[in-house]
Chain A
């Protein structure tokens, strides 16, 4: 029997459950997109590949080297001093101190060890007759360890930029790493370095080079220029800087015998998965989803849908979200799966890699909006696919050009940027969706999650961090206008 609400005169049915109905319609369309996606074979190829990747990741083994060896590998790096937050970004290299770890034993959740620093005595500038005569002077002396700590504690002075070839480049904007020019401290200044400062310094070095928190206490044994410290670290071996033997295929292939865990994970996550895997996932995602909207608009199908009590804009937007959800799930499965097995296998649970899931989905959202726009105008899956993939490629190339143009500007700060740079590259960058910045966002997250601060300093070129509002805002703006135009066109067309 007809519903009494419908037969009541006056047209539209009671709208009491309007919101509920919209939710039901939304989920119906999501479910429909899901059915469509799993109907083809491409999705199985894709999930299969993801599963293979996850299986490969699961076949990796990360075996920490024994504590004695690990600390022997970590502490010599303490000659490299990487500034803490808030200080200059210049690093400094001290090469006259020898750091040695001994008596390593497990203690609680961490380790106990003796750290010995053998420094080089610094010859005082003042003339010392006793020493000149070959005797042992009582005068206080400075040494390389004291001056290293003093330099570490003080504000960095002059710096130079060292380029990739190891040459000093006078130009401030050049590519490379800033290195502090060693400041000379007088003996008196060196003598003023307290035990507390030394302990703080070493503590900081454990964080910088191994991401290990430690308590350091100077022990009175050892005579300067030999210093001894009692160190207790917390946390086990699954820290960024702990050297691990990494093997693939359940031990069949050795990737590294003795490489820091974080560095290995960074290589896998950033280079292998985020770059190649991400590009591949986006590509396949675009291919699969480019059929969604043209199929919906096919003659004979579209009348069935648009005769339902859903507005056309809603249909299109829901369908678009359906595509995004699909991509989100595939990315979440792949990235999440790989992250999970790597974490289980290595014991290193850092969630920053998971940032790739929303960011990849967001990148996809930009491209899929273009695909939707093309599809509503042409009703052709091939056109949607080619145009959106072509655009992705264009954005990638444009991003490279922008990067080249930026570093050119830095290297030639005195020459006027060319017309092309100002009006095409820079304006283009401001106006286009920011896919390159999104990519960098993921890479930054991965590197800060896996690399020790010192490794990050050496491996990753610091760049200005673009504002999140700009990155997402501009991209959202593009998504909005493309969907808006699609909806407008779809709503006024005859089918």
Chain B
């Protein structure tokens, strides 16, 4: 059974098409990242799943129940982006309020609230009014309120927004622990480095359409690019290698390193042989890995290049009004 499933999901806000036929599936126990530019429709997708906005067309379900079902929300924890907690609450009383809404019993709340706040590192300030919290503290509180009722699915919209590097690391570790325990996590983030570190699968949304989807390994797999470097003083035989059928180009700003791109079915073996027989000494050989950021950039650039550029000049924040 899929934890989250959408099929040909459409959402239009008046004339704005926020989602245009998104189909994705998240399995139990995964950490799933949803990427995309501003205005790509990430938040919209999450809001549909939680019943905060209604879908225009298509299907969306959580635990096989239609999105927006009241009962199923008990199994979901949610951290919205741009949240504004009622600031007459203290961290503790807010957790207590939300916990009651989730149906957590009083005894359980008394135990879990301090524990959860401890986990996100703000237990020391839990009896202070939220209006005295810093941005990052509020964000941590937001994560805590999404976790306290031990939901099967945790949906986080930009969880590390405003959190310091230490905090981000703690949150990453927390997510790893949660995953260990069998929780499913669905998150939006612009911090690709982090997503790469923790997510099992990612999807990239581009103007309301799903353009890439897969495991991190699948997405970042390179076509086969190696960086080679020779002992200083030796000259790289560019022409000879090109003749073998490899694309070669120097790596800018490096100590004379060259990049060799393999074609399908090729290995680096012939190049190595050539270099050894030519009496050259290889000091540096690295298989180049694409970062998620590279993937994201190329995907986004490649998506609808012309249209996207023009649009972005006219409407800097992705098609919003």
Instruction: List the interface of chain A (C-beta within 8 A of B).
Output: 1-3, 6-7, 9-13, 15, 17, 21, 24-25, 27-29, 31-32, 35-36, 39, 295, 298-311, 492, 494-495
Q: Is the CB of B88 within 8 A of A25?
A: no
Asked if residues A309 and B71 are in contact (CB atoms below 8 Å), the reply is yes
Contact: A300 with B64, CB < 8 Å?
no
Flag if B52 contacts A306 (CB, 8 Å).
yes
Docked CA distance A31–B80 (Å): 23
**In this assembly, does B70 line the interface, its C-beta being within 8 Å of a C-beta of chain A?**
yes
Bound together, the chains give a CA A31 to CA B65 distance in angstroms of 31
| Chain A positions within 8 Å of B150 at CB level | 1-3
Contact among A31, A39, A299, A309 for B82, CB-based, below 8 A: A299
Contact with A along B203-238 (1 / 0, CB 8 A): 000000000000000000000000000000000000
* Residue from A2, A24, A303, A310 with most neighbouring chain B CB atoms (10 Å): A303
17 inter-chain pairs at a CB distance below 8 angstroms, sorted by A residue, are A1-B150, A1-B181, A12-B71, A12-B74, A24-B105, A25-B101, A28-B96, A32-B97, A36-B86, A299-B84, A300-B80, A300-B84, A304-B80, A306-B50, A309-B101, A309-B102, A494-B52
**Is B107 close to A, CB under 8 A?**
no
Docked CA distance A9–B75 (Å): 12
Residue from A11, A21, A302, A306 having most chain B Cβ neighbours under 10 A: A11
Residues of A within 8 A of B102 (CB): 308-309
Given contact pairs A2-B150, A303-B50, A307-B73, enumerate 17 new A-B contacts (beta carbons under 8 Å).
A1-B182, A2-B152, A11-B65, A12-B74, A24-B103, A24-B105, A35-B93, A301-B83, A301-B84, A302-B52, A304-B145, A305-B101, A306-B50, A307-B51, A307-B80, A494-B53, A494-B54
Q: Is the CB of A11 within 8 A of B63?
A: yes
A286 to chain B, nearest CB (A): 19
Interface residues of B in 45-63 (CB under 8 A from A): 47, 50-54, 63
Q: How far is the CA of A32 from the CA of B95 in the complex (A)?
A: 11
Counting contact residues on chain B (CB < 8 A from A), the size range is 35 or more
Give the number of A-B contacts (CB < 8 Å). 117
Inter-chain contact B73/A304, CB cutoff 8 Å: no
Question: How distant is the Cα of A12 from the Cα of B61 in the complex, in angstroms?
Answer: 12
**Which residues on the A side are within 8 Å of B4 (C-beta)?**
none
Tell me, in angstroms, the Cα distance from A446 to B63 when the chains sit together.
Answer: 60
State whether A306 touches B101 (Cβ < 8 A): no
Instruction: Decide if A11 touches B73 in the complex (CB within 8 Å).
Output: no
Q: Is B171 an interface residue (CB 8 A)?
A: no
* Least CB distance, A431 to chain B, in whole angstroms: 35
Q: Which residue of A lies closest to B48 (CB)?
A: A494
Most chain B CB within a 10 A radius of its CB, from A39, A301, A307, A494: A307
